[in-house]
């Protein structure tokens, strides 16, 4: 079984569905607010776990009601709660999500305890990395913490997969260092351009980011699928047409599944296909963690579309 360490955020998602997203300065009426578990780290860990990995999530929660609710939810989904740090000085992370009828969304995150996550507060991380097949991190936590985790993995020969989301403003030095010690860089179209990807098309833009250090660059393209570029390999994967309900968890489902497949040495084309299928399935369901499909669902989904 593939053993994956996930270092990242844990949030409570406060979700409101609307007929259309508001323009700047505009007020729109929506449906009743719904609380759902979220955070890129938690979402990707759940996606990896459902896909069959032995996944552990290293993150932080506040010592508050939301924190207790989120910890219980992670335990119920099969993630060990002992690797989650409780920060008595900060509230739990909160994401404000507005979803329109088409499934598109806007997300604003109040990091809370995620902003205080340090390597020192993740006491079991290095021990887990000693027997891990991969490390997956995102950037709803401090970049310095993500960098320290990546370096700890590199020292042990553990592949590092980094989802640069969100892209921090100002191009900090730690971001440059993090990308340089990354085996797989995963970004969406907006994030790729924010990292100064250049070229006439997405394959060229993916290749341009190889110059920053990663051995493999993956750009997710929403309804256009995804592209993956390495020094001697270029794979383009078309999207799987589905009726989208909520895009909130799609990127995280993609990352969780791709990280597992990459860590276990799966061919790149297969990893990209399975990850795109996971993201597509996730868009047909509400929420993020609850939308993540298991391996059997993805296998059946792909087989059905091949026939």
Structure tokens at 149: 């985790």
Of 13, 252, 290, 294, catalytic: 252
201-228 burial: b if 16+ Cβ within 10 Å, else e: ebbebbbbbeebebebbbbbbbeebbbb
**252 included as an active-site residue:** yes
Three-class SS string for the chain? CCEEEEECCCEEEEEEEECCCCCCCCCCCECCCEEEEECHHHHHHHHHHHCCCEEEEEEEEECCHHHHHHHHHHHHCCCCHHHEEEECCCCCEEEEEEEECCCCEEEEEECHHHHHCCCCCCCCHHHHHCCCCEEEEECCCCHHHHHHHHHHHHHCCCCEEEECCCCCCCCCHHHHHHHHCCCEEEEEHHHHHHCCCCCCCHHHHHHHHHCCCCCEEEEECHHHCEEEEECCEEEEECCCCCCCCCCCCHHHHHHHHHHHHHHCCCCHHHHHHHHHHHHHHHHCCCCCHHHCCCHHHHHHHHHHHHC
Alpha carbon distances (Å) from 261 to 2, 180, 202: 9, 22, 22
Q: Which residues are catalytically annotated?
A: 252
């Amino acid at each position: 079984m593939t053993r994956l360490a996930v270092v990242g955020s844990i949030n409570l998602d406060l979700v409101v569905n609307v007929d259309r997203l508001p323009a700047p300065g505009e007020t729109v009426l929506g449906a009743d607010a719904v609380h759902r578990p979220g955070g890129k780290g938690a979402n990707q860990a759940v996606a990896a776990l459902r896909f069959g990995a032995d996944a552990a999530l290293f993150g932080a929660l506040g010592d508050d009601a939301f924190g207790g609710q989120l910890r219980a939810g992670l335990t119920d989904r099969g993630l060990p709660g002992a690797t989650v740090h409780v920060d008595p000085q900060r509230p739990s992370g909160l994401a404000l999500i507005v979803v329109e009828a088409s499934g598109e969304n806007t997300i604003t995150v109040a990091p809370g305890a995620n902003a205080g996550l340090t390597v020192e507060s993740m006491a079991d991380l290095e021990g887990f990395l000693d027997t891990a097949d991969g490390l997956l991190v995102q950037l709803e936590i401090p970049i310095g913490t993500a960098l320290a985790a990546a370096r700890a993995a590199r020292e042990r020969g553990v592949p590092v997969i980094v989802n640069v989301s969100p892209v921090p403003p100002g191009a900090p030095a730690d971001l440059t260092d993090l990308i340089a010690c990354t085996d797989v860089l995963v970004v969406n179209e907006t994030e790729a351009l924010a990292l100064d990807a250049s070229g006439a098309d997405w394959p060229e833009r993916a290749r341009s980011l190889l110059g920053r250090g990663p051995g493999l660059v993956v750009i997710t393209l929403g309804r256009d699928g995804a592209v993956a570029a390495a020094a001697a390999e270029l794979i383009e994967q078309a999207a799987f047409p589905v009726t989208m309900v909520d895009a909130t968890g799609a990127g995280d489902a993609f990352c969780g599944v791709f990280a597992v497949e990459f860590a276990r040495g799966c061919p790149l084309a297969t990893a990209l296909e399975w990850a795109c299928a996971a993201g597509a399935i996730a868009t047909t369901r509400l929420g993020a963690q609850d939308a993540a499909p298991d391996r059997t669902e993805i296998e059946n989904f792909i087989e059905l579309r091949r026939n």
